């Protein structure tokens, strides 16, 4: 029995990772309300019972996916007192992987509807960001007239504005809207600079 135990553990970890990957794709496509554990189980080649045992219900699985996404984002784009550069880096991160933006949008809709039924770990990440913004304001690197919560919310909107722009705008000039990524990036920097500037 002992020699097979590590192999079983490895298989379990691999299956769990497949479930997380399948759930991430499912939530990105359908949101929380539209996601189905059946499809996640089929895609991940795992049983529904195992998914429920590992993660609990669908909301808990979504919370796990969100936390992993936030952890990856914090590692890839750590917030610094240079809030303009932070905003541009956020824009780049979301532009590289549209599924990240889709999941974030679904999360904002879902979490608002469920009155913030999410883990304290997710809140802690934002509290850290607010501390960095306060530090930037105290150093004179950011406009102190903003409440830190306001400034963070606005910079997040600036970072994601191209990905969340209305479809109507895209249809007016589809080639121009999506073609010039560097121009989009420059506009994000310019907007952030004007907002942050003390």
CATH number of the domain encompassing residue 33: 1.10.10.60
90 with 130, same domain: the answer is yes
Nearest to 123 by CA among 175, 47, 36, 63: 63
Sign of CA dihedral 11, 17, 21, 26: positive
One domain, residues 48 and 81: no
Q: How far is CA 33 from the centre of its chain?
A: 18
Confidence of residue 67 (pLDDT cuts 50, 70, 90): confident
Q: Once rounded to an integer, what is the mean pLDDT over residues 67-82?
A: 88
Residue from 46, 25, 194, 10 nearest 102 by CA: 25
Q: Are residues 41 and 116 located together in one domain of the fold?
A: no
Shared domain check, 70 and 44: no
My answer on whether 89 and 72 are in the same domain is yes
When pLDDT is cut at 50, 70 and 90, the band that residue 28 belongs to is: confident
Structural domain that includes position 147: 57-196
Q: Indicate the angle between helix axes 48-55 and 37-44, nearest 10 degrees.
A: 110
37 and 63 assigned to the same domain: no
**Cβ of 24: how many Cβ atoms within 10 Å?**
21
Residue 94 and residue 11 in one domain: no
Phi, psi of 185 (to 5 degrees): -60, -45
pLDDT for the residue numbered 116: 58
1: pLDDT confidence band, cut at 50, 70 and 90? Answer: very low
> In terms of domains, do 113 and 188 share one?
yes
CA distances from 97 to 27, 38, 73 (A): 14, 25, 11
Are residues 21 and 34 in contact, defined by beta-carbon separation less than 8 angstroms? no
Q: How far apart are CA 60 and CA 93, in angstroms?
A: 25
Any residues with CB less than 8 A from the CB of 22 and at least 6 apart, and which? 39, 40, 41, 43, 44
Count how many residues are written for the chain.
Answer: 198
Pair (7, 28) in one structural domain: yes
Say yes or no: 84 and 159 in one domain: yes
Domain at 62, CATH number: 1.10.357.10
**How many domains, in total, are found in the chain?**
2
Q: What is the pLDDT of residues 98-151, one digit of tens each?
A: 778 778 777 777 776 665 566 677 788 889 999 999 999 999 999 999 999 999
Q: For residues 30 and 110, state if they share a domain.
A: no
DSSP 2: T
Which of 162, 196, 176, 186 lies closest to 88, judged by CA?
186
């Amino acid at each position: 029995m002992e020699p097979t135990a590590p192999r079983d553990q490895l298989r379990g970890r691999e299956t769990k990772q497949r479930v997380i990957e399948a759930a991430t794709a499912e939530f990105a496509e359908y949101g929380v309300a539209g996601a189905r554990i059946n499809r996640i189980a089929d895609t991940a080649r795992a049983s529904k019972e195992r998914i429920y045992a590992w993660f609990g219900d669908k909301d808990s699985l979504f919370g796990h996916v969100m936390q992993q996404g936030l952890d990856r984002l914090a590692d890839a784009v750590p917030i610094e007192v240079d809030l303009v550069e932070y905003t541009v880096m956020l824009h780049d991160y979301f532009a590289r992987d549209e599924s990240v933006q889709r999941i974030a949008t679904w999360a904002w809709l879902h979490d608002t509807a469920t009155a913030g039924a999410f883990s304290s770990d997710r809140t802690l990440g934002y509290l850290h960001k607010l501390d960095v913004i306060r530090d930037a304001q105290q150093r004179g690197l950011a406009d102190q007239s903003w409440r830190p919560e306001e400034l963070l919310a606005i910079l997040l909107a600036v970072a994601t504005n191209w990905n969340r722009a209305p479809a109507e705008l895209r249809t007016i000039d589809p080639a121009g809207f999506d073609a010039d990524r560097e121009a989009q990036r420059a506009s994000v920097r310019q907007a952030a600079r004007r907002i942050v500037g003390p």
